[in-house]
Copies of this chain bind each other. A is one copy, B any other.
Amino acid sequence: MSAALTLGTPDHLDRLLTLVTAFHAEEGIVMTDDARRAGIAPLLDGIPHGVAYLIGPPRAAIGYIIVTFGWSVEFGGMDGFIDELYIRPGVRKRGIASETLQSLPRALGDAGLKALHLEIDTENETAQRLYARAGFARRDKYQLMTREL
């Protein structure tokens, strides 16, 4: 099972939306199809704020990962957030997510990204172990606050 990454382009929109819809159903994220499309399509169109990669053979992708790009004064350059990572249920527990989390940060680091962040559910120990193995450290001293606009 290959975890090769393919940068998503507009040609991949329908395939990606199928996977994103499955992920959101599993996570209980409620969005209309139109809203979901509005959240995904710009990433395939080449906006500077993020990218989507298909995992596995692009015509029969087994998952996807979305990385959004920001900036950090303290890190002195671009940083990124793993916004979503999904592996289809039938191919889980084969190390595909781990492989993705090894190869992608390396590629992004080579491209000049200074740091990669993600937000985990404090009760999801499986996810925390996965990310810890991939070199992500909890920032327990800090807490996120959010205001919807």
Complex Cα distance, B94 from A143, in Å, reads 26
Chain A residues touching B, majority SS: mixed
In angstroms, how far is the closest chain B Cβ from the Cβ of A101? Answer: 9
Q: Which residues on the B side are within 8 Å of A136 (C-beta)?
A: 145-147
Tell me which of B39, B114, B122, B137 contacts A72 (CB under 8 A): B39
Q: Which residues on the B side are within 8 Å of A139 (C-beta)?
A: 119, 143-146
Asked if residues A137 and B146 are in contact (CB atoms below 8 Å), the reply is yes
Total identical chains: 2
Q: Is A90 an interface residue (CB 8 A)?
A: no
A138 and B149 contact, Cβ closer than 8 Å, known pairs A39-B74, A71-B49, A73-B40: no
Which one, A5-13, A55-63, A76-84, is touching chain B? A76-84
Q: Which residues on the B side are within 8 Å of A75 (C-beta)?
A: 39, 148
